[in-house]
Structure 1
Amino acid sequence: MPGRVWLQGTCRFFEPGHSDHCEKLIGEIAHGIAAAHAVKATLDYKKGYPPLINTADATARAIAAAAATVGSENVTTEFSPSLGCEDFAFMIRAAGGCYAWVGVGDVGPGEGLHGDRYVFNDEIVPTVLGYYVNLVEQTLPAS
């Protein structure tokens, strides 16, 4: 039997208040298991990234810019939430914003953005640049 065990992981959630709930439950479970085996448990719960929640105005602008770039029929707005962690969540909480995904084509296993066989689709660059130009033109006042 080892003299010490260290278990590490992340908690991801869609609601900001769930972090406190996760901390409470993990502590209760760890202490319960430890007590059942007459050992001690210590929980060092560090709050990391908050959930990234787009703001309505920024999302509407992102959708409008995308529609102006590729046509509204090519803009997808209905998809399942993602549990990815992103430091952009802190900026959105402070200033508002929209974390938008740009489709670069179908990919197979291991070929996605964080996969070991990822290959950037260079053909998407003009479309992405057009999107950002449209976003800036629709957001900033004309001078």
Structure 2
Amino acid sequence: MLLGAVEHFAANRDFVGTVYFIFQPAEEGVGGASAMIADGLFERFPMDAVYALHNWPGLPLGQFGLIEGPIMAAGDRVDIVIHGRGGHGGLNPHGCIDPVRIAGELITQAHSIVGRDIDPLAPAVISLCSVQAGDLAGFAVIPDTARLSGTLRALDTETLEALRERLRTLCAGLEATYGATIEVSIEDKFSVTYNHPGPTATARAAIVARFGEAALAPNYPPCMGGEDFSYMLDVCPGAYIHVGSGDADHTHGLHHPAYDFNDRIMAPGIDLFVQLAHEALTESG
């Protein structure tokens, strides 16, 4: 889509001002946006606003998701290692510190934090998504360690910090209760993807001008997914837009093994980038 917009403006110089095209690498939690910012992106190429699109199978083809304020969540990666004391699950389980048992309790209690320790009006997610411990062949062997990984998500930094603190407190309590040692590593992966008021209005005007009022998804909610583009929005005003790609032939969500990119959104995406540039340049005078 971005290359299509480049091709359009290379052939049509019907604008006044400068349009930069940013090809951001390593979006999936690897820090491509942060690397570009650290490399002087906004100092070398001064911008009044920055915009991005993302295909969105949860929206029908022909619609666009856009809201002012948080549109996607801040997200952390969580890694937990439980160090216990292994042994024989039949002969001396009482002489062990069972990390599998502790992992089970940790999962149950962690997944209740959002329901009981976080403001119910502040959207938040804790998901412990993977567990590794022991060997299925060693059915009677209590292992020394168990490892878990997962994610924390929130739409504001205060809620995210509350999730972090509550999870650390829970692990400390389980350490004291069972005599284990629990390492908790929390890595900041994404900040909140925050759509600024002015650029959001510009993006809304571009969508309506090119596709009509009906193309704006009504009552569009924020998403608890995370987005690396958020770091660009932390240092430059801008907006992030979801491009609806769902139809009868494209029903699988993002990251699903059977996901198939809907090529039919390519042309509308190019058109939107072109219209966004014109609207933004008009707004900046």
* TM-score, normalization by structure 1: 0.87
* Equivalent in the alignment of 2:149: 8
Q: How many residues are aligned here?
A: 141
- Offset of residue 17 of structure 1: 2.2
Give the AA of the match of 1:125. Answer: M
For structure 2, list consecutive stretches of 5 or more residues without a partner in the other structure: 1-141
* Equivalent in the alignment of 2:266: 125
**Structure number with higher strand proportion:** 2
Contact 1:12 1:51 survives alignment (8 Å): no
User: Identity of aligned pairs, percent?
Assistant: 27
Partner of 2:202, secondary structure, is helix
Structure 1 runs (4+) greater than 4 angstroms displaced: none
Q: Report the Cα distance in structure 2 between the residues aligned to 1:125 and 1:21, rounded to whole angstroms.
A: 40
Contact 1:27 1:43 survives alignment (8 Å): yes
Partner of 1:6, secondary structure, is strand
1:88 aligns with 2:229: yes
* TM-score, normalization by structure 2: 0.46
CA distances 1:40-79 after superposition (whole Å, capped 9, x unpaired): 2222222221121111111111111111111012211522
What is the aligned counterpart of 1:57 among 198, 201, 214?
A: 198
Structure whose CA Rg is larger:
2
Could you say if the C-alpha distance between residues 2 and 52 of structure 1 is closer, same or farther in structure 2, counting changes exceeding 3 Å?
Answer: same
Q: Report the Cα distance in structure 2 between the residues aligned to 1:104 and 1:48, rounded to whole angstroms.
A: 26
Q: Report the Cα distance in structure 1 between the residues aligned to 2:182 and 2:261, rounded to whole angstroms.
A: 45
For structure 1, list consecutive stretches of 5 or more residues without a partner in the other structure: none
1:66 aligns with 2:207: yes
Counterparts of residues 80-119 of structure 1 (less than 5 Å): 80-106=221-247, 107-108=250-251, 111-119=252-260
Give me the CA root mean square deviation: 2.0
Give the AA of the match of 1:130. Answer: D
**Structure number with higher helix proportion:** 1
Give the AA of the match of 2:268. Answer: T
